[in-house]
């Protein structure tokens, strides 16, 4: 596994990369003041996560989920059974979520708190019916909505390419210097800013809904290879 750490005024963000069968990226937020921790999309390695948090002298109080897919939630119930925590997910994901424990829901524009650390909710449906991103001070945790020079697929029944297009328009409003953190390491680099993605990520570069939907459909049919590196407008247009 690879690891990255970002220390900010009120929190430290730590990321474990390449976890489990699908090489997930697992995000931990450690609030300095309260000595509490949230884990985002815990999957595959419940005991590893629990021990990591304990070794740092923090208490896990929250689990935040970006979306309902099994490869992002399959450690939730085990963690709850062993040490407990409050689960948060976007309100429109609830009909699809398959865990034993109760959840609290959030909607677009809500702010949730961990000690003195705040995260704004950005509702980003498309990859799933009600996926959300968590925007903290200088960091966007996007789950599978947005990857480095890519985005989540729209192949399952609750996915919708038009909704994903509108979600991308929202994400274009995130400050350029914000760091993007994704649910999987599928790109040509791990560290990236929203400015880099706005310049070279086809899902953000494409301006019109019609072109966006065509691009997503062509991806699903295998007509366009998955881009793992930056593309300019001319390259994207040629692919269309």
Asked if 103 and 121 count as a contact pair (C-beta separation under 8 A), the reply is: no
Distances (CA, A) of 180 to 70, 80, 151: 22, 28, 12
Average pLDDT estimate for 98-115: 96
The position carrying tokens 């896990």 is: 60
Distance from C-alpha of 59 to C-alpha of 85, rounded to nearest angstrom: 9
Please, what is the average pLDDT of the chain? 95
pLDDT tens per residue, range 122-160: 999 999 999 999 999 999 999 999 999 999 999 999 999
Whole-number pLDDT of residue 187: 87
pLDDT tens per residue, range 38-66: 999 999 999 999 999 999 999 999 999 99
Q: Which range has the top average pLDDT, 99-103, 123-127, 214-218? A: 123-127
Distance from C-alpha of 35 to C-alpha of 11, rounded to nearest angstrom: 10
Whole-number pLDDT of residue 85: 97
Distance from C-alpha of 51 to C-alpha of 119, rounded to nearest angstrom: 25
Query: Which residues contact residue 225 at a Cβ distance below 8 angstroms, ignoring those fewer than 6 apart?
Result: none
**Helix 46-55 / helix 76-83 crossing angle, nearest 10 deg:** 50
CATH number, domain 2-239? 3.60.15.10
Whole-number pLDDT of residue 224: 77
Pair type for strands 24-31 and 36-40: antiparallel
Could you tell me where the DSSP H helices lie in the chain?
Answer: 46-55, 76-83, 161-171, 194-200, 202-205, 209-220, 233-239
pTM for the whole structure: 0.97
């Amino acid at each position: 596994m690879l690891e990255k750490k970002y220390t900010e005024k009120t929190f430290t963000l730590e990321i474990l990369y390449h976890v489990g069968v699908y090489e997930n990226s697992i995000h931990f937020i450690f609030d300095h003041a309260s000595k509490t921790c949230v884990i985002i999309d815990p999957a595959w390695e419940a005991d590893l996560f629990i021990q990591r948090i304990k070794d740092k002298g923090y208490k896990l109080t929250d689990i935040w989920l970006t979306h309902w897919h099994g490869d992002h939630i399959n450690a939730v119930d085990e963690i709850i059974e062993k040490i407990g925590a409050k689960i948060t997910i976007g309100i429109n994901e609830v009909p699809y979520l398959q865990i034993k424990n109760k959840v609290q829901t959030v909607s677009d524009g809500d702010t949730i708190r961990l000690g003195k650390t705040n995260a704004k909710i950005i509702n980003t449906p498309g990859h799933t019916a009600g996926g959300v991103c968590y925007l903290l001070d200088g960091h966007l945790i996007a789950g599978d909505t947005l990857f480095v020079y890519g985005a989540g697929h729209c192949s399952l029944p609750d996915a919708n390419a038009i909704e994903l297009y509108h979600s991308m328009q929202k994400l274009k409003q995130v400050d350029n210097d914000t760091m993007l953190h994704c649910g999987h390491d599928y790109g040509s680099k791990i560290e990236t800013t929203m400015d880099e993605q706005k310049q070279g990520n086809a899902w953000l570069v494409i301006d019109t809904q019609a072109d966006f939907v065509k691009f997503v459909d062509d991806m699903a049919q295998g007509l366009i290879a998955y881009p793992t590196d930056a593309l300019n407008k001319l390259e994207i247009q040629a692919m269309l």
